[in-house]
């Protein structure tokens, strides 16, 4: 197969590049490196089945030759990134999705959209199943990301209904693992970076808000399984094991052996109070559920952060 991955130099995108190359496919990676990292794809550059195209997917794209699948993973994905690049985030969710869908249609290829648990906003239903429509503030600071992804889902379904395109929508919950950026502003890299530097761990609010963390290898397996199904409806991919942010900070302190204090900061606007996926659909449709225990995944991630901090 020949697979196009937009945002292929990003955290999840680069792991998808690696997986498809390992499976013997050709991979075309599209990235403009606003938030993607060149180092993520350096290991693949010498592979004859890997092609890098430096391009902004918000602009029309033509790819020579056959394409079997287009996976649209281009977008800032952490609050610090989409608040820094709000207009680019809206554009990649709208214009970028339009262009990626257009490429899939021109090539009669499958299309997989990287959507997000953020489409549920600050949910009033817990856990969140795919039939929940969400509780989103469209004009809040997080709205640029939430609404971009909601629009991207709507456009993906429109192409499926109007053009018969084989489309798939993955609603991705918090994912972690090697190749995350230490400075991306999310809880896990924040906590690990602070602990390794001996700085206080910053917990927002009182730390009672919950998250569910899925290791990257588990997520990639779910994405690959979803791509080859006939399911066009959204599918939650995440780990249903829920933990409070305060408990999570303490886990990371224990894992690192750090002596840092935990300090509390004001809760950001529209920060979700709870977040846990109902993965019944993924279990039934894909035969998928996470396998990597959180402590094991955290240790692998910590080892990665220690290496890059030492190298830096």
Structure token pair of residue 148: 């971009």
Residue 39, CA atoms < 13 Å, CB-side half-sphere? 7
Give the residue among 16, 34, 88 at the shortest CA–CA distance from 58: 88
CA angle at 134 for the pair 177 and 15, rounded to the nearest 5°: 20
Q: Could you say which of 82, 145, 159, 176 is catalytic?
A: 145
262 DSSP β-pair partners: 201
DSSP 3-state assignment of 310?
Answer: helix
Q: Which strand (E) or helix (H) includes residue 5?
A: strand 2-6
Whether residue 145 lies in the annotated active site:
yes
d(CA 175, CA 297): 10
Contact 298, 178 (CB under 8 A): no
- The burial of 202, by beta-carbon neighbours within 10 Å (0-12 exposed, 13-18 middle, 19 or more buried), is given as middle
Q: Which residue do the tokens 């089945």 mark?
A: 49
d(CA 239, CA 211): 9
Give the residue among 295, 302, 296 at the shortest CA–CA distance from 195: 302
At a CB cut-off of 8 Å and minimum separation 6, what does 191 contact?
201, 248, 249, 252, 253
Give the residue among 247, 250, 246 at the shortest CA–CA distance from 195: 250
Which residues does the annotation mark as catalytic?
A: 145
């Amino acid at each position: 197969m020949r697979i196009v991955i937009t945002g292929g130099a990003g955290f999840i995108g680069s792991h998808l590049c690696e997986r498809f190359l390992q499976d013997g496919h050709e991979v075309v990676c599209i990235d403009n490196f606003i938030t993607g990292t060149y180092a993520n794809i350096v290991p693949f550059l010498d592979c004859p089945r890997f092609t890098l195209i430096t391009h902004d997917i918000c602009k029309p794209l033509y790819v020579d030759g056959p394409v079997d699948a287009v996976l649209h993973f281009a977008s800032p994905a952490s609050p610090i990134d989409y608040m820094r690049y709000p207009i680019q985030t809206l554009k990649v969710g709208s214009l970028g999705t339009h262009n990626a869908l257009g490429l899939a249609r021109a090539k009669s290829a499958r299309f997989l959209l990287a959507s997000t648990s953020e489409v549920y906003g600050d949910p009033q239903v817990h856990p969140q199943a795919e039939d929940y429509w969400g509780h989103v503030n469209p004009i809040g600071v997080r709205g640029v990301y939430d609404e971009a992804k909601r629009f991207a889902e709507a456009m993906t379904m429109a192409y499926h209904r109007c053009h018969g395109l084989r489309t798939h929508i993955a609603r991705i919950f918090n994912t972690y693992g090697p190749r995350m950026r230490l400075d991306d502003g999310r809880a896990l890299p924040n906590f690990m970076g602070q602990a390794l530097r001996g700085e206080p761990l910053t917990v927002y609010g009182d730390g009672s808000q919950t998250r569910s963390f899925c290791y990257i290898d588990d997520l990639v397996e779910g994405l690959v399984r979803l791509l080859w199904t006939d399911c066009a409806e959204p599918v939650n991919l995440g780990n249903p094991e829920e933990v409070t942010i305060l408990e999570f900070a303490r886990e990371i302190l224990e894992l690192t052996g750090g002596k840092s204090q935990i300090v509390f900061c004001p809760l950001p606007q529209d920060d979700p109070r709870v977040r846990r996926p109902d993965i019944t659909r993924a279990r039934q449709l894909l035969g998928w559920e996470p396998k990597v225990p959180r402590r094991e995944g955290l240790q692998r991630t910590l080892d990665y952060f220690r290496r890059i901090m030492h190298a830096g």
